[in-house]
């Protein structure tokens, strides 16, 4: 049994705990919040035993094996490193760090303390992504990938009213790329590796973060377009184009079906059977790595490549975080 503590008491932590409850080997042991009142309130929802309002005390707790970090992006590195230095495994919510420099420091801490560090990048662990990988050979030589995730945020309505929430604050290392654009970047590098060149253009909001953007990634024999936004909504699926056929993907963050369309127009749809809450699969993999004493090095390489691409995209768009100093 892996005994988990959670840092963060928001909706994404709700999803993690609900997914974990379905996983063999998962035990919700503790909740951390900045106030004890909030920690106890949240723990009561799930019948969780222990509450903390001190990260130092949480790190020292002997009955906690792993910590799920779901605080704002700007805190991921410091909190994860603090937990790993205390010998705890860390499942860190995406985006795992503010930049690639921070991530490399986190990985050094994981190596130094012989613990597992894993980014909670749910799309690439679930059966939908496995179906994409398995069916790629049916497309012939791959020439283009177009991944998009444009989801209008209710927080943008508040933004337009002058209420700036965490999602649009550069001091918290947030913005559209860090929130949902990463769901396009990470699957790209897991499928095709790190591109040779990256070009990025975005729409900046008044706080200095991106509201939407497009990233073009160039490979030796293919190209990719990554489109993401928090200020518009898209009804179009993602796709991968090969010389023999194309694959239509619905949807890249949580793939429920793919369709193979050949050049002659014939097609075959493949529906994906899986858990409704696809965070289940990232938790399952994290627990497996811990129990089998395996390395997360391969998974972490994709996280490094993703952040290197995102660092360069932000540089080209003129998006700067305090954490970049």
Buried b (16+ CB within 10 A) or exposed e, 140-167: eebeebbbbbbbebebbeebeeeeeeeb
Query: Using N-to-C axis directions, what is the helix angle for 279-291 and 11-20, rounded to 10°?
Result: 60
Residue 182's pLDDT is 98
pLDDT at site 234: 95
| Chain mean pLDDT for the chain | 97
What pLDDT sits at residue 143? 98
Q: What is the pLDDT of residue 209?
A: 98
Report if pTM > 0.85. Answer: yes
pLDDT band at residue 248 using 50, 70 and 90 as cut-offs: very high
Tell me, what's the pLDDT at 197?
A: 98
Beta carbons within 8 Å of 25's beta carbon, 6+ residues apart? 1, 2, 287, 291
pLDDT in tens, 197-213: 999 999 999 999 999 99
What is the pairing mode between strands 210-218 and 223-229?
antiparallel
Residues 6+ positions from 7 with CB-CB distance below 8 Å? 32, 55, 58, 67, 68, 69, 70, 71, 79
Question: pLDDT for 12-25, tens place per residue?
Answer: 999 999 999 999 99
Question: For the segment 129-165, what is each residue's pLDDT rounded down to a tens digit?
Answer: 999 999 999 999 999 999 999 999 999 999 999 999 9
Average pLDDT over residues 280-307: 98
Task: Find, among 24, 7, 12, the residue nearest to 286 by Cα.
Answer: 24
* C-alpha span between 9 and 42 (Å, rounded): 7
DSSP assignment string, 191-220 = HH---SEEEEEEEEPTTSSEEEEEEEEE-S
Smallest Cα–Cα separation from 16: which of 132, 94, 80? 94
| Percentage of the residues of the chain whose pLDDT score is greater than 90 | 100
């Amino acid at each position: 049994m892996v005994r988990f503590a959670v840092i963060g008491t928001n909706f994404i932590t709700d999803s993690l705990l609900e997914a974990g409850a379905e996983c063999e080997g998962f035990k919700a042991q503790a909740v951390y919040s900045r106030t004890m009142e909030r920690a106890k309130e949240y723990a009561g929802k799930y019948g969780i035993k222990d509450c903390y309002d001190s990260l130092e005390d949480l790190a020292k707790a002997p009955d906690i094996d792993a910590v799920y970090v779901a605080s704002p992006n700007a805190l991921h590195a410091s909190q994860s490193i603090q937990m790993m230095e205390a010998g705890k495994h860390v499942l860190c919510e995406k985006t795992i760090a503010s930049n690639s420099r921070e991530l490399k420091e986190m990985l050094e801490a994981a190596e130094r303390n012989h613990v597992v560090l894993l980014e909670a990048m749910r799309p690439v662990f679930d059966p939908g992504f496995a179906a994409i990988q398995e069916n790629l050979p049916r497309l012939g030589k791959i020439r283009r990938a177009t991944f998009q995730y444009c989801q209008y945020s209710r927080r943008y309505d508040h933004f337009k009213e002058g209420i700036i929430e965490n999602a649009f604050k550069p001091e918290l290392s947030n913005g559209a790329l860090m929130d949902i654009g990463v769901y396009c970047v990470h699957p790209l590098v897991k499928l095709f590796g790190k591109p040779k060149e990256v070009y990025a253009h975005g729409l900046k909001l008044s706080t200095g973060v991106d509201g939407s953007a497009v990233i073009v990634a160039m490979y030796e024999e293919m190209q990719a377009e990554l489109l993401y936004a928090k200020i518009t909504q898209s009804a179009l699926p993602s796709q991968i184009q090969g010389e023999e056929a194309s694959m239509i993907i619905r949807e890249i963050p949580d793939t429920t079906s793919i369709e193979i369309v050949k050049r002659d127009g014939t097609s075959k749809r493949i529906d994906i059977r899986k858990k409704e809450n696809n965070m289940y699969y990232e938790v399952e993999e994290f627990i497996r790595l811990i129990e089998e004493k395996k390395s997360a090095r391969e998974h972490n390489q994709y996280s490094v490549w993703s952040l290197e691409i995102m660092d360069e995209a932000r540089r080209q768009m003129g998006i700067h975080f305090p954490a970049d100093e």
